[in-house]
Structure 1
Amino acid sequence: MARNNSFIKLEGTLDGLTFYNKDGNNLVKTKNQVSRNRIMNDPAYKRTRENMQEFGGAARCSKALRESFASIVRLVADTYLSARITGKVRSVVPNGAGLRGERNINLVDNLEPFIGFQFNLSKPFDSQFNAPSTGPVIDASRDKVSWSIPDFNTDTYIKKPEGATHCKLALAAGYVSNYEWDPALKSYEPVEDTPNGAGEIVYSDAIALGAMVGTDTDLTLNLTTYGPIPVTTALFAGTAIVFFQMVNGELYELAQGHSMKIATAG
């Protein structure tokens, strides 16, 4: 560490040098580079290795969650979706059993942090659609999800993006297993491979914007094809709205303006 006595006072990093102010003094230091070999073997970096292992597990688990909603994620996700979901998963790791660095990722018993998760922070689902509805409801066997929306006025309860003439409501569901550290593989692995990362989605009929829908909208997902659901696997249910523009009698998805949230889990 050295003092910067130049009349030019810098803050930030330039050519490997970091300029900063501390206690009124202008200081400069070189970038600290620690080799991967040292991080992986030096006892002083034990905590770092533990954090790396658990972060890797959170990343694998969050990937399974994204994959379970893969058919709609491309429409509703913001740039930072992957990082934000990983952060949510990472937040529940301290609740898991096991030694630090190998703690179980127990989603099933830690679902609350995921409820209300927005797939696009700039387009929160409830700001785009807020009509009264029932559900989504997950049945006791966790192989059926339903969402019922009584007839409503689209002008009152939908905030449509510019150019939208129609929309579709969507109900999505995805399964994600708990994850555990596997000493033999030296990685986090799903407790159950099936139906980890699997999911389904159902859309309503196209709804013309600017008036009453004209009928109730009932969406149901039947997930019985996945068989009995393991107790170590969580089911996440999401609600979404996708906007369209009608041109010459054909509906075209808008490039943006869609939104989705995790509404419930079980």
Structure 2
Amino acid sequence: MAKQKGFIKLKGSLGGLTFYESGGNSIVKTTEGVDKNRINTDPNYKRTRENMSEFGASATVGKALRQGFGSIIKNIKDSTITGRITGIMKRVNSLGSGLRGRREFEILDNKEVLEGFEFNSKVPLSTVFYPEYAAPTLDVNRSIATWVVPDFNASNFLRPPEGATHFKLILVSTVLSNYTYSAGLKKYEPVAPTENKVNGITYSDALSVVGQVGAATTLTVDLGFTSPLPNTVGVIMATGILFYQQINTELYELSSTNAMRISAVG
């Protein structure tokens, strides 16, 4: 039995799976009265096996993405993030090549599915941080991510939470490998395990929420690769903002309106 946390909440039975609500949660389980061995072997449950294989793989690839943002995600995520990431990975999987139940996760080919994902669905980045800026870019090796935010007036282009005195901009970069089905192992494996989940993060200086910043802010993350990354991986770049309150000389993070989104995949 598993909780259903995708974008679309289903009710009823589909492909040998039953979707229902219990205790305020959306649950998915195999149809009552069906023996596990029968599901695994009966030709009538071929579609069920395919659904289970790809759903489980979507959760696995989604977990890899969350781990790539592990150093910051706890400061920004909402309670639905696991299900929402699994949902977008299932969309990537549905567009992949191969037979049902073994379709590949092809990150670069489907980057538009990932771009724009908000880590805190209740606080999209554009609702608290809205100066004009371009998405991060990558160098020729796809190792160095750079985000440049032109000078702006924080009084006009921020919506800080009550009590905030400062903010920091953040750039996070992580590698996510394509995943392919291994018939021998009967599960999905990363195509590029060495590069998979390599990540880095950088923060701007603490800046006042009032007045002109005074200069362009340039953030750079270097993942350390000395040769071009293969096309079987995507470099996921997320941009965000953290708010702080200064008390005496100390800065204390305010978690209520921190925001981050996937701005580019290269």
TM-score by length of 1: 0.85
Instruction: Say whether 1:58 aligns with 2:53.
Output: no
Unaligned 5+ runs, structure 2: 1-19, 21-30
Q: What are the residue-to-residue correspondences of 1:1-266 with 2, within 5 Å?
A: 32-225=32-225, 227-266=227-266
What secondary structure is seen at the aligned counterpart in 1 of 2:136?
strand
What secondary structure is seen at the aligned counterpart in 2 of 1:210?
coil
Following superposition, the deviation at residue 37 of structure 1 comes to 2.8
1:67/1:198 contact within 8 Å kept: no
CA RMSD of aligned residues (A): 1.7
Query: CA separation in 2, counterparts of 1:115 and 1:37?
Result: 40
1:63 maps to a residue whose letter is K
Alignment-derived partner of residue 27 in structure 2: none
2:240/2:261 contact within 8 Å kept: yes
Following superposition, the deviation at residue 223 of structure 1 comes to 2.1
1:56/1:188 contact within 8 Å kept: no
Query: CA separation in 2, counterparts of 1:113 and 1:166?
Result: 33
Alignment-derived partner of residue 9 in structure 1: none
Alignment-derived partner of residue 6 in structure 2: none
Following superposition, the deviation at residue 36 of structure 1 comes to 2.6
Following superposition, the deviation at residue 77 of structure 1 comes to 0.8
1:114/1:262 contact within 8 Å kept: yes
Query: CA separation in 1, counterparts of 2:216 and 2:69?
Result: 25
Rg bigger for which structure?
A: 1
What secondary structure is seen at the aligned counterpart in 2 of 1:254?
strand
Following superposition, the deviation at residue 230 of structure 1 comes to 2.0
Cα shift readout 1:157-212 (whole Å, capped 9, x = no counterpart): 11111221111000111100000001111110000112101211110000111211
Q: Could you list the structure 1 runs, at least 4 aligned residues long, displaced by more than 4 angstroms after superposition.
A: none
1:166/1:208 contact within 8 Å kept: yes
2:198/2:223 contact within 8 Å kept: no
Query: CA separation in 2, counterparts of 1:191 and 1:80?
Result: 28
1:171 maps to a residue whose letter is L
What secondary structure is seen at the aligned counterpart in 1 of 2:116?
coil
2:187 maps to a residue whose letter is S
Query: CA separation in 2, counterparts of 1:243 and 1:227?
Result: 36
Query: CA separation in 1, counterparts of 2:134 and 2:97?
Result: 36
2:140/2:228 contact within 8 Å kept: no
What secondary structure is seen at the aligned counterpart in 2 of 1:256?
strand
Alignment-derived partner of residue 14 in structure 1: none
2:261 maps to a residue whose letter is K
1:173/1:235 contact within 8 Å kept: yes
Identity fraction in percent: 43
Cα shift readout 1:76-97 (whole Å, capped 9, x = no counterpart): 1111111111111111212222
Query: CA separation in 2, counterparts of 1:134 and 1:91?
Result: 26
Query: CA separation in 2, counterparts of 1:215 and 1:124?
Result: 25
1:239/1:262 contact within 8 Å kept: yes
Unaligned 5+ runs, structure 1: 1-17, 19-30
Query: CA separation in 1, counterparts of 2:262 and 2:227?
Result: 23
